[in-house]
Amino acid sequence: MIKVKLFGLLRLDSGIKEIELEAGAVKDIYTELEKASDILSAKKLDACVVLVNGKSANKNTRLSDGDEVSFLSPVAGG
């Protein structure tokens, strides 16, 4: 299983904090997230910073069982 975590406005808008699913690559998660919420469109997910196990990743990054994938809305300001 892959643990997927959402952060930033993506999380507030979708109301989804964390889900677990099966996926072989990051792009597979897109499909599942789009099913989970209308808010989670491919366009919005494309605009996110994606991390796999805390390291920078992209749509084509391969996943293994137990990986943790984070989607972060672009942010700034402090």
Partner 1 sequence: MGKDIGAKIHGTYIFYGKIKSLFIEQILLYRYNGKKAVDYMKSKYSGYMGKLVEIDLGAETVREYPWSDKERELYLGGKIMAARILCDHLTGNEKAFSEENWLVIATGPLTGTGAPSSARFNISAISPQTGILASSNCGGSFGFHLKKAGYDALIIKGRCKGRKWLEINDDEFIFHDAEALWGTKTGECHEKLAELCGKKNFGRLCIGPAGENLVKYASVISDERAAGRTGMGAVLGWKGLKAITVSGSRSVEVYDREKTAAYIKKWVAYLKEHPLTGSQLPRLGTAGLVSSMQSHSILATRNYSAGQFEDFDSVSGETLAESYNVNNSGCLGCTIRCRRNVKVDGKVVKGPELETLVLFGSNLGNSDMQSVLDLNYLADELGLDTISCANTIAWAMEASAKGIWNCGLEFGKPDGLASLLDDIAHRRGIGDELAEGSKRLSEKYGGTDFAIHSKGLELAAYEPRRAVGQGLGYAIANRGGCHINGGYAVIAEGLGLNADPQTPKAKADLTMMMQNLMEAISASGQCIFTSYAFFPKALLANPNGILTKCVNSLLPHLGWGIRIMNRFPRMLAVNLPIIHHTAILKYAVGMKMDLGRYLEIGERGYNMERLINTRFGISAENDKLPKRLTDVPQDPDDPSTRVPLEVMKRTYYKARGWDENGIPTEKTLRRLKIK
List of residues contacting partner 1 (CB under 8 A): 5, 7-9, 11-12, 17, 46-49, 51, 54, 58, 70, 72-78
At closest approach, how far in Å is the CB of 78 from partner 1?
Answer: 5
Q: How far is the CB of 71 from partner 1 (least distance, A)?
A: 10
d(C-alpha 56, C-alpha 68), whole Å: 12
Contacts of 74 (CB under 8 A, 6+ apart): 8, 47, 48, 49
Residues 27 and 48 sit within 8 Å (Cβ to Cβ): no
Closest to partner 1 by CB, 22 or 62: 62
Strand-pair partners of 2: 21
Pick 66 or 78: Cβ nearer partner 1? 78
Output the smallest distance, CB 15 to partner 1, in A.
Answer: 9
Q: Is the dihedral of CA 58, 40, 72, 54 positive or negative?
A: negative
Residue 1 or 47: the one with the smaller Cβ distance to partner 1 is 47
